[in-house]
Amino acid sequence: MNGTVTVIDKGPVRIHSYMAPDDSLNVTTQLIETPGRVVAVDGQYVLGYADEVVAYAKGLGKPLDRLIITHAHPDHFHGAARFGVPVHALAVVRDQIAAQGDGQDPSGVVIPAADITPTVEIAPGTQVIDGIPFVFEAVSGGEAADELVIRLPEQDVLLAQDLVYHDTHLFLGNNDLVGWRDAVESLAADASYDTVLAGHGLPAGPEVYAELRRYLADAGDLLGDDGEAYKKAILERYPSYGGPFLIDIGNQYLFGAQND
């Protein structure tokens, strides 16, 4: 297996957190194994890694029930069709994905928008799936314009996805450091969750919030009008972090042609 799977046992629920290799931004898919089925959250960027997740999920011996997409960044939905199940998302996220049109895998394979656009709308609130309460929460601002956070309150598990990165450089292309800081503070205010699942990086605990606060503060101090200078400075500040290409992608949004 190219990716890394971390298994977390929470009684009637087991979490299988798949992290793609560094060449695919350490992006994660969360497999929530309930007593009778598997719920997948986020669908990978590289089709081959999506296939790896699906093969692992099938090996659990329970039906794959649905794929939930948390936000409209391609690294979280390009592989959606590979799961072969209904794709769920907030209405605003569905519309943002549809508006992007066809995509392309790094291998050159075209990804038709019609194949990956969510078809089942998620409404914020609590939904019981196979006897397990899932609390769906819509968040605006931060790493993306709109994101879905999922709480499993009986298991003390928070699926923060891209509001939390763990030991991985942040994508700042949405240009909303203030909104991201506010979102982190809101998540950190609820201390009842001992397991925090990141959108990039391995599972973490509540200590990840302090790490995020520090990185966001440093990014705010170091960002100027030169993307290459920012990249050099943030890499020097966090030399052990994965996903340095995320800086390049963010810089294309923040600074444009100088980083092409």
Q: What is the pLDDT of residues 170-195, one digit of tens each?
A: 999 999 999 999 999 999 999 999 99
What does the domain layout of the chain look like in residue ranges? 4-259
Provide mean pLDDT across the span 33-37.
98
Give yes or no for residue 87 having a pLDDT over 90. Answer: yes
234-163-220-25 Cα dihedral, nearest 10 degrees: 20
Residues 104-142: tens digit of each pLDDT: 999 999 999 999 999 999 999 999 999 999 999 999 999
CATH H superfamily, domain 4-259 = Ribonuclease Z/Hydroxyacylglutathione hydrolase-like (3.60.15.10)
Cα separation of 173 and 114, whole Å?
Answer: 26
Instruction: Write down the pTM of the prediction.
Output: 0.96
Q: Give burial (CB, 10 Å; 0-12/13-18/19+) of 109.
A: exposed
SS3 call for 256: helix
Contact 29, 42 (CB under 8 A): yes
Please compute the mean of the pLDDT values over residues 75-95 and round it to a whole number: 98
pLDDT of residue 3: 97
Q: Is the pLDDT of residue 91 over 50?
A: yes
**What is the distance between the alpha carbons of residues 217 and 75, in angstroms, rounded to a whole number?**
25
Contacts of 27 (CB under 8 A, 6+ apart): 19, 20, 42, 44, 45, 75, 76, 199, 200
CB 226 within 8 A of CB 247: no
